[in-house]
Amino acid sequence: MNKNDIPKYGAISASLNQASVNWEEVLSNIIPSFGCSTGTIHFLEEETSLLKLQAQVGIPDFLIPKLSTIPIGKGMAGIAAERREPVEMCNLQTDDSGVARPSAKETKVEGSIVVPLLLNNTLYGTLGIAKPVPYDFTEEEQTDLLKIGEEMSTVISAK
């Protein structure tokens, strides 16, 4: 992704093109771009194959310990990482599929999506955002989030 691909997301690209990336700032730019109120970024820890919380915005403090480490295949982030594709819920509060973990409902968000951070089919982590109302993310929004994830992965892989 470059600024020309998604012009309205220029602040996201700008925050990723810093000498030292502040991931909370990146997330703070992504969240309002999609009309969301909360979000998380997890990085994949290769040695353990666990997703480790890198940044969060709007998550209640009491939930941070439950979100700090996520196994691949567990919860929305773990399933998005495992499948290497977006995982979405129109209403996290009423979902009974078992995809979302019970503690996820404590966030009080409803419309939510998690996309994998992928670059050249290599997984670097996940990006999750959510709204306080029921919502189905459009195909265009999913594509934009995957492009943002690719740009984030480019930065992560350069470390």
Residue 32 lies in a domain: yes
- Helices first, then strands: H and E counts in the chain: 5, 6
User: Which tens digit of pLDDT belongs to each residue from 110-157?
Assistant: 678 999 999 999 999 999 999 888 888 999 999 999 999 999 999 999
CA–CA separation, 28 vs 12, rounded Å?
A: 9
- Domains held by the chain: number: 1
The predicted structure's pLDDT at residue 108: 57
As a whole number, mean pLDDT of residues 66-78 equals 92
Residue 110 lies in a domain: yes
Residue 1 lies in a domain: no
Amino acid (one-letter) located at 147: K
Residue 2 lies in a domain: no
Q: Which residue has the higher pLDDT, 107 or 35?
A: 35
Residue 102 has pLDDT above 60, yes or no: no
Nearest to 147 by CA among 111, 123, 112, 117: 117
CATH number at residue 39: 3.30.450.40
- Mean pLDDT of the residues in the chain: 85
Residue 46 lies in a domain: yes
Residue 1 has pLDDT above 70, yes or no: no
As a whole number, mean pLDDT of residues 66-90 equals 91
Percent of the chain with pLDDT over 70: 82
Residue 8 has pLDDT above 70, yes or no: no
Residue 15 has pLDDT above 80, yes or no: yes
The predicted structure's pLDDT at residue 2: 42
Residue ranges making up the domain that contains 41: 7-157
Residue 80 lies in a domain: yes
As a whole number, mean pLDDT of residues 88-114 equals 61
Residue 58 has pLDDT above 60, yes or no: yes
Tokens read off for 123: 């997984």
Please tell me whether the overall predicted TM-score, pTM, comes out greater than 0.85 for this model.
Answer: yes
Residue 106 lies in a domain: yes
DSSP letter for each residue of 30-77 = HHHHTT-SEEEEEEEETTTTEEEEEEEES--GGGHHHHSEEETTSHHH
